[in-house]
């Protein structure tokens, strides 16, 4: 019972030892249960692996059938959701990251008279994004509004003091808005701690693993778990030497962050009195090759994890399986890596699913990496957060705004139509791909007419007939060309009339809208009239038919997120005047 810090080198088979402890705990009593808490991004694989290992250890025990129900794998967020699933707080609306930036923009606009340095920053997207990060750091760090009281009271503040004062003002209104209208992380974790405090967890063994950082709220959850009688182990990659010796050496080491995290957590749980009991697991049943351990020893000795030991070349293990290669740049490094992976798979040495690549600057290099995956015909997934910024839905909104504000420019009109998320007609009889192809042909012909005559601006909206004449080669082909031109012109005018009949009334309603709620309602009706919602479904189905499950899933997610953002936008700016730029 209580809290223990468990440290080990990376080469130690830690998951096996944790599984053995879990199995032993479950065998002791049928009322016993275990929680394995890991970061969100590895929860699924950690769950599958831990259930497999514990199940094998309980294979000859009557407890085996209970392994999947008595062993639960959570992240802190999933633990929160599980324990609060029946609480009233889950009925409150959550707010997205984009919603937070909208909320901060609203605060800056409403309370600009209280600000001096940040008075005119509401229209600067980059500032609001940075401000959102600052507010998040205040929340996760457990900063209270009262912590700014000295700056609020300063009569003649310096520039830095004024900046902190204004951060405090914004933070006060920000936290107030969250508490009144939204469920937010800190409130949820506080509620979680209250729920945990009502439970008797003396039958529960908890291992927390692979955490490199902890917020104040997460440490409070750990404290609550210990306070409710649970046996809690916190695992970190570290050595006893690193805990007691490295901190006395000048400068940071590879293990400084883990040591500081361990000290901070143990003091928090023990209320600052003493450090937790530290247990170091020694090497056993390691899954790593001896050459890897040799490299690990080097890093430990040179980064404060082990005392430095002088060894002769004969005493050092020669590296034959591990190679170190220097490349001129990242592109060459990636290219050679993919080529090597391809060779290894073709030789039957590994499978693609056995390989993970840890790379620098994935966001900057993801397009190059995707091209290499295609070049070498390697199935792969790049683990990056999806962004809506370049999705066709956002491109539709940008094009509509530009058409409205800049009087029907050619480039904006074609940007909307070439997007292929609006206005092409669908019926139940014609295959969707044939329908799309027909629309593309009509669009190509329309663009030919537009370019031939320079049609844009008032020529799109005045309702007058268009003209189109294509030069004929000779008199014999003149009639044929004329008939063809007539058909092209009719299709072009048909597309023009359809587009203007939808957009012009909508633009007029947007200009007359008194509030954001009215304007967003008009905008949503416009998008559905243009067929945007149905186009999302179409492209989802196309991706699914082609076996691209990830793209199909993303289509649904983007549309759902877009609707959520509209709801948040109305909630925050509802009765205010509408500004498309927001």
45 vs 480 pLDDT, higher one:
45
Range of the domain at 227: 2-88+188-287
Q: Give 277's strand partners.
A: 4
CA 256 to CA 243: how far, in whole Å?
9
Q: Are 506 and 530 in contact, with CB atoms under 8 Å apart?
A: no
Evaluate if pTM is beyond 0.75. no
Range among 41-50, 251-260, 491-500 rated most confident: 491-500
Mean pLDDT of the chain: 85
CA 345 to CA 159: how far, in whole Å?
60
For residues 283-296, average pLDDT: 82
**Residue 510: per-residue pLDDT:** 92
Contacts with 201 (C-beta within 8 Å, 6 or more apart), sequence order: 225, 228, 229, 230
The reply to whether 565 falls in a domain is yes
Which range, of 61-65, 136-140, 161-165, 176-180, averages the lowest pLDDT? 61-65
Strand runs (DSSP E) across 251-371, as ranges? 277-280
Are residues 490 and 554 both part of a single domain? yes
Are residues 500 and 400 both part of a single domain? yes
For residues 37-47, average pLDDT: 85
CA 219 to CA 265: how far, in whole Å?
7
The reply to whether 453 falls in a domain is yes
SS3 at position 235? strand
CA 508 to CA 492: how far, in whole Å?
24
67 vs 195 pLDDT, higher one:
195
Q: Are 466 and 492 in contact, with CB atoms under 8 Å apart?
A: yes
For residues 380-385, average pLDDT: 71
The reply to whether 313 falls in a domain is no
Question: Within 10 Å of residue 189's Cβ, how many Cβ atoms?
Answer: 23
**Sign, CA torsion 331/332/334/339:** positive
Residue 195 is part of a domain; what is its CATH number? 3.40.50.300
Q: Which two tokens stand for residue 55?
A: 């199940």
**Residue 458: per-residue pLDDT:** 92
- How would residue 523 be classed by pLDDT, with cut points 50, 70 and 90? very high
Question: Within 10 Å of residue 561's Cβ, how many Cβ atoms?
Answer: 16
Are residues 564 and 469 both part of a single domain? yes
Q: Does 132 have pLDDT greater than 90?
A: yes
Are residues 101 and 75 both part of a single domain? no
Q: Domain boundary residue among 155, 181, 207?
A: 181
**Residue 187: per-residue pLDDT:** 79
Q: Are 104 and 136 in contact, with CB atoms under 8 Å apart?
A: no
Range among 82-91, 166-175, 304-313 rated most confident: 166-175
Which range, of 60-74, 129-143, 204-218, 305-319, averages the lowest pLDDT? 60-74
The reply to whether 194 falls in a domain is yes
- How would residue 197 be classed by pLDDT, with cut points 50, 70 and 90? very high
**Residue 173: per-residue pLDDT:** 94
The reply to whether 271 falls in a domain is yes
**Residue 465: per-residue pLDDT:** 87
276 vs 36 pLDDT, higher one:
36
**Residue 208: per-residue pLDDT:** 96
DSSP string, 345-412: HHTTS--GGG-----S-HHHHHHHHHHHHHHTT----------STTSHHHHHHHHHHHHHHTTS-HHH
Residue 439 per-residue DSSP state = H
SS3 at position 258? helix
Are residues 131 and 271 both part of a single domain? no
Are residues 417 and 525 both part of a single domain? yes
Q: Does 502 have pLDDT greater than 90?
A: yes
Q: Domain boundary residue among 287, 318, 340?
A: 287
The reply to whether 301 falls in a domain is no
**Residue 480: per-residue pLDDT:** 47
Residue carrying the six token digits 């050619």: 410
For residues 513-517, average pLDDT: 92
Are residues 172 and 263 both part of a single domain? no
Q: Give 278's strand partners.
A: 5
Are residues 404 and 504 both part of a single domain? yes
**Residue 228: per-residue pLDDT:** 94
Q: Domain boundary residue among 375, 410, 442?
A: 375
**Residue 423: per-residue pLDDT:** 80
Which range, of 33-42, 169-178, 478-487, averages the lowest pLDDT? 478-487
Q: Does 476 have pLDDT greater than 60?
A: no
Residue 94 per-residue DSSP state = B
The reply to whether 562 falls in a domain is yes
**Residue 385: per-residue pLDDT:** 62
Q: Which two tokens stand for residue 408?
A: 């029907």
Are residues 344 and 196 both part of a single domain? no
The reply to whether 169 falls in a domain is yes
Are residues 196 and 143 both part of a single domain? no
Are residues 401 and 488 both part of a single domain? yes
User: What phi and psi, each to the nearest 5 degrees, are found at residue 287?
Assistant: -90, -5
H or E segment and range at residue 419 = none
For residues 449-465, average pLDDT: 89
Are residues 271 and 251 both part of a single domain? yes
**Residue 473: per-residue pLDDT:** 46
- How would residue 528 be classed by pLDDT, with cut points 50, 70 and 90? very high
Q: Are 578 and 518 in contact, with CB atoms under 8 Å apart?
A: yes
pLDDT in tens, 395-413: 999 999 999 999 999 999 9
Count of domains for the chain? 4
Q: Does 488 have pLDDT greater than 50?
A: yes
The strands making up 277-280's β-sheet, listed across from edge to edge, are: 71-74, 33-37, 204-208, 231-237, 2-8, 277-280
**Residue 479: per-residue pLDDT:** 47
Neighbouring C-alpha atoms within 13 Å toward the C-beta of 161: 10
Nearest to 503 by CA among 487, 526, 485: 526
């Amino acid at each position: 019972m209580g809290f223990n810090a468990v440290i080990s080198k990376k080469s130690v088979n830690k998951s096996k030892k944790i599984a053995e402890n879990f199995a032993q705990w479950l065998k002791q009593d049928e009322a016993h249960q275990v929680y394995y808490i890991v970061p969100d991004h590895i929860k699924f694989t950690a769950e599958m692996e831990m259930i497999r290992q514990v199940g094998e250890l309980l294979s000859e025990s009557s407890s085996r059938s209970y392994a999947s129900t008595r062993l639960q794998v959570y992240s802190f967020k999933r633990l929160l959701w599980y324990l609060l699933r029946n609480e009233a707080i889950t009925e409150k609306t959550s707010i997205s990251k984009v919603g937070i930036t909208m909320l901060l923009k609203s605060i800056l606009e409403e309370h600009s008279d209280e600000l001096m340095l940040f008075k005119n920053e509401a229209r600067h997207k980059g500032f609001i994004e940075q401000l959102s990060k600052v507010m998040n750091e205040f929340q996760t760090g457990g900063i209270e509004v009262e912590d700014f009281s000295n700056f609020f009271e300063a009569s003649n503040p310096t520039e830095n003091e004024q900046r902190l004062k204004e951060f405090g003002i914004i933070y006060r209104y920000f936290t107030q808005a969250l508490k009144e209208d939204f469920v937010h992380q800190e409130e949820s974790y506080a509620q979680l701690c209250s729920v945990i405090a009502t439970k008797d967890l003396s039958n529960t063994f908890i291992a927390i693993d692979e955490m490199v950082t902890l917020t104040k709220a997460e440490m409070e959850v750990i404290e609550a778990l210990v306070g409710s009688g649970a046996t809690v182990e916190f695992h970190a990659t570290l050595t006893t030497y690193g805990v007691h010796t490295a901190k006395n050496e000048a400068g940071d080491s590879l293990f400084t962050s883990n040591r500081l995290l361990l000290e901070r957590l143990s003091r928090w749980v023990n209320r600052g009195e003493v450090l937790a009991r530290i247990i170091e697991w020694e090497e056993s049943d390691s899954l790593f090759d001896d050459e890897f351990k040799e490299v690990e020893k080097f890093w430990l000795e040179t980064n404060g994890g082990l005392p430095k030991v002088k060894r002769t070349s004969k005493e050092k293990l020669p590296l034959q399986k591990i190679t170190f290669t220097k490349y001129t740049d990242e592109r060459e490094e990636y290219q050679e890596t993919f080529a090597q992976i391809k060779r290894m798979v073709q030789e039957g040495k590994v499978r693609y699913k056995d390989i993970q690549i840890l790379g620098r600057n994935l966001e900057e290099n993801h397009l190059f990496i995707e091209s290499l995956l295609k070049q070498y015909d390697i199935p792969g997934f790049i683990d990056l957060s999806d962004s809506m910024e370049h999705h066709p839905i956002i491109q539709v909104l940008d094009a509509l705004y530009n058409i409205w504000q800049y009087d029907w420019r050619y480039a904006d009109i074609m940007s909307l139509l070439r997007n292929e998320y609006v206005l092409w007609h669908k019926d139940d009889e014609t295959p969707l791909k044939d329908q799309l192809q027909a629309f593309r042909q009509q669009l190509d012909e329309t663009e030919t007419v537009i370019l031939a005559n320079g049609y844009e601006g008032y020529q799109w909206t005045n309702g007058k007939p268009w003209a189109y004449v294509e030069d004929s080669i000779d008199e014999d082909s003149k009639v044929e060309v004329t008939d063809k031109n007539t058909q092209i012109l009719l299709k072009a005018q048909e597309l023009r009339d359809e587009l203007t009949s939808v957009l012009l009334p909508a633009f007029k309603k947007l200009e007359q809208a008194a509030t954001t709620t009215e304007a967003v309602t008009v905008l949503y009706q416009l998008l559905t009239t243009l067929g945007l919602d149905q186009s999302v479904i179409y492209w989802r189905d196309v991706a699914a038919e082609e076996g691209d499950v990830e793209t199909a899933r993303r289509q649904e997610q983007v549309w759902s997120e877009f609707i959520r953002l509209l709801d948040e936008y109305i909630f925050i700016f509802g009765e205010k005047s509408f500004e498309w730029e927001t």
